[in-house]
Amino acid sequence: MHILLLGASDYNSSQILQSALSRNYTVTVLVRHELSTSYHPNLTLVTGSPTSQHDLEAALQTPTPPEAIIVALGHDDILESITRALLNAIKSVQHPYQSNGLASSPQRVMPLPLRLVFSPNDAMRIGPDEHNRVDAIVRASGLPFVLAQSPRLIRERPKSVRASPSDGRGAAWLAAVTRASWLVHNLGKQV
């Protein structure tokens, strides 16, 4: 699996990156500034802005087209502009190959439907309204996508699930999973 990760400068993003690399996935990361990360054969860094269609096109055309995109940025106020720029970049990258009859070349064409995952973090509280606006933008694009929204993600290590006795005492507990683990694990599932 090849992933395009938008943003990798905070704790959440670095955990997503480490989780993907530990599963032997290849990852292209679009970052504003060079990361001080050690070399990894499965990692490609592209410097640019997630709101720039040109920079997104460059990130989409690295060694292997992405099968999934994770948006892990900490600013919900630019979420819609990032989504629009990303969709325009995908259409732009796809169009030359389709119009030249090269759509059958699997090395150059992005697989569609594309998995698109928005990762919430401490600074980015994505509520139902934000999800609905982004969903509407993606649907209006005409591109086939699978959007993943997680109900409850945590930063800490997952703990064991505590079960209450069936005698009515105690409260039900929700199981939890780390953000990075859920995001990367669910990319590998078939749609």
pLDDT digit string (tens) for 21-46?
999 999 999 988 776 667 889 999 89
Q: Which pLDDT belongs to residue 54?
A: 94
Structure tokens at 3: 């992933």
Single-letter amino acid, residue 190: Q
Q: What is the pLDDT of residue 24?
A: 94
Q: Is the pLDDT of residue 156 over 70?
A: no
Give the pLDDT confidence score for residue 56 in this predicted structure: 93
Q: What is the pLDDT of residue 127?
A: 65
Position 25 scores a pLDDT of 94
pLDDT digits (tens, 9 = 90+) for 50-78: 889 999 999 998 878 888 888 877 666 67
Res. 173: pLDDT tops 50: no
* pTM of the model as a whole: 0.69
Q: For 131-155, how does the pLDDT look when each residue is reduced to its tens digit (9 = 90+)? A: 778 778 888 888 777 766 555 555 5
For the record, the structure tokens of 67 come out as 């099968």
3 state SS for the chain:
CEEEEECCCCHHHHHHHHHHHHCCCEEEEEECCCCCCCCCCCEEEEECCCCCHHHHHHHHCCCCCCCEEEECCCCHHHHHHHHHHHHHHHHHHHHHHHHCCCCCCCCCCCCCCEEEEECCECCECCCHHHHHHHHHHHHHCCCCEEEECCCCCECCCCCCCCCCCCCCCCCCCCCCCEHHHHHHHHHCCCC
Confidence class for position 177, pLDDT limits 50, 70, 90: low
In 3D space, the residue among 34, 29, 24, 41 whose CA is nearest the CA of residue 4 turns out to be 29
Instruction: Give me the residue label for tokens 């090269």.
Output: 102
Could you give all domains of the chain from N- to C-terminal order, each with its CATH number?
A: 2-151+179-187 (3.40.50.720)
* CB neighbour list of residue 139: distance below 8 Å, 6 or more residues apart: none
φ, ψ (nearest 5 deg) of residue 24: 65, 25
Token pair belonging to 37: 């990360």
Q: Which two tokens stand for residue 178?
A: 């780390």
What pLDDT, in 10s, does the model give residues 84-129? 898 889 888 876 544 444 444 444 456 665 666 666 554 455 666 7
